[in-house]
Amino acid sequence: MAEQKPEMMKRTIGLFEAVAMITGLVVGASIFVLVPSMAGMTGPSVYLAYAAAAIPAIFVVLYEIQLTGTLPVTGANFVTVTRVLNPFWGAIISFAAVLAILASNILVAVGFSQYVIAFIQSFNPAFSLHPWILPIAIVAFFALINLLGVKIASWIQMVLFLAFIAGMIIFGIVGTANMNPANLVPLFPNGAMMFMVVTVLACFSWAGLVALADIGGEVKNPRRNLPLALIIAFVIVLALYTWQPFALVASMGWQEAAKAGAPAIMLDAAKLMPGWGIWIIFIAAMGAILTTINALTMSAARDLVAWARDGMMPRGVAHLHKKFKTPDVAILVVLIIEILGILVSATIDKYALAAVLALMLIQIVSAYCILRIPNRLPELYKKSIFKFNGFWRWFTFLGTAITSGFILLMGFFLDTMDKDGNPTQIPWTVLVFIGVLIAGVIYYFARNAYLKSKGEDLKANLQKVADATLAEAEERLSIS
């Protein structure tokens, strides 16, 4: 059922804001909260694990360059899979994407709470707070920010981006200057297997790369700015992800860092710097964490808008606020799901694993779609500034399939491991992940049957480009 007057979001995000958005999407709580515990698992080689985790991310950047250059629209990942592959797989990938985004956002919100409480306890050891209060408060706050408009959200993103970049650089310099070479040997004290396990977990830290495509409908000159933003942000993130873990284990030692837990970087800064050092790292951590929550809230809501435009959800979910032109209903739905996820109270590593499993599946299917884009969307592909030939499209797909497939299998194995590294546990995270995919299949067929009873064909909707999406892809895209 075509929309007679498609509602379109405003293109207000420029190149710098897009770089801040994608960097904020990628760099979040994990680089502060997860690094100490992962250092305890693999030793001084934790910084190498973060670098190794960038290998699958390279292939993600390659296929996202093609995707964003061809289809710079709201919910581009969902739109591409449904149109290029088929509606069924689009539904499956959509549920996996929502699981990845929401699990990531919940993890970051929980990490935010842990960091704030640890910071306050450094001044007042008796301080305590219920673990639900701060995570719920922060996701609600950024839901409100996103409701007020993407321009406000992007300006907040830039300020927080500059704060955490400055803080991480300062810590990297100070930590490296105070390194003790003895802290870096042996490099793999717990063996190669634990290094691979940590590399799998570190892949979560790159999860935000796929989310930038979903806000393509709000980026100025997106066929140029989205691919450039991905490349610039990747270089920035790789440098930060290698440098900060190195500075921590080189100056503090991996065993001491693991013992200190989530606030290890903050405690190391307090030891190495004057009294204001702890404030530098606290502000940097808050900047990294809050940019992720802000950007993931934006991305998740845009996915739901894409669903609703096609009839996968009630079309009211795609409603835009009359004044702010933001997806108010979709933002509310995202907020409700996030609050429910916080109430589950899983551990941070379980949220991370759930996000990794979903992300790897998304990457494999999406990279396959890139092979078919020139044939399935030829008119839109012609407008892409960055075009890959057949060799590079196959290289991107095979590289993604091999690296992401390996990490997916490792994730299944990791979920069975106990604290001693033995495969004795029931893989609850994997079972939940599979359950979400099954729920997606059931929902797809149930929604299709319901719409057919109303005289509408969901499959047909998902095989054509919705009017609002087509308007975003075909409109004159200003460079200003």
Pick the most confident of 331-335, 377-381, 459-463: 331-335
CB 72 within 8 A of CB 228: no
Residue-wise DSSP of 255-285: HHHHHH-TTHHHHHHHHHS-TTHHHHHHHHH
pLDDT bracket for residue 295 (50, 70, 90): confident
Residue 468 has pLDDT above 50, yes or no: yes
pLDDT bracket for residue 449 (50, 70, 90): very high
Report the pLDDT averaged over residues 29-37: 82
Query: pLDDT averaged over the chain?
Result: 85
pTM of the shown model: 0.79
Side chain identity at residue 364, one-letter code:
I
CA nearest to 293, candidates 471, 139, 135: 139
CB 187 within 8 A of CB 311: no
Cα distances from 224 to residues 69, 192, 363, in angstroms, run: 7, 41, 22
pLDDT bracket for residue 1 (50, 70, 90): very low
For 471, phi then psi, to 5°, come to: -60, -40
pLDDT 10s digits, 264-293: 998 899 899 887 788 888 888 888 888 888
pLDDT bracket for residue 346 (50, 70, 90): low
Angle at 363 between CA 344 and CA 423, to 5 degrees: 55
Least confident of 6-10, 50-54, 412-416: 6-10
pLDDT bracket for residue 48 (50, 70, 90): very high
Side chain identity at residue 426, one-letter code:
I
Helical segments of 149-276, H only: 150-177, 191-202, 222-252, 254-260, 264-272
User: Distance from first CA to last CA of the chain, Å, rounded?
Assistant: 34
Residue-wise DSSP of 160-174: HHHHHHHHHHHHHHH
Residue 4 has pLDDT above 70, yes or no: no
Report the pLDDT averaged over residues 78-102: 81
Residue 58 has pLDDT above 80, yes or no: yes
pLDDT at 8: 61
- What span, in angstroms and rounded, lies between the C-alpha atoms of 374 and 359? 24
pLDDT at 478: 32
Q: Which two tokens stand for residue 170?
A: 């300062």
CA nearest to 213, candidates 54, 75, 93: 75
- Region 15-467: CATH code: 1.20.1740.10
Residue 260 has pLDDT above 50, yes or no: yes
Report the pLDDT averaged over residues 428-451: 89
pLDDT 10s digits, 143-192: 999 898 877 877 887 888 888 899 999 999 999 999 999 999 999 999 99
pLDDT bracket for residue 465 (50, 70, 90): low
Percent of the chain with pLDDT over 90: 30
Cα distances from 202 to residues 26, 63, 310, in angstroms, run: 11, 20, 34
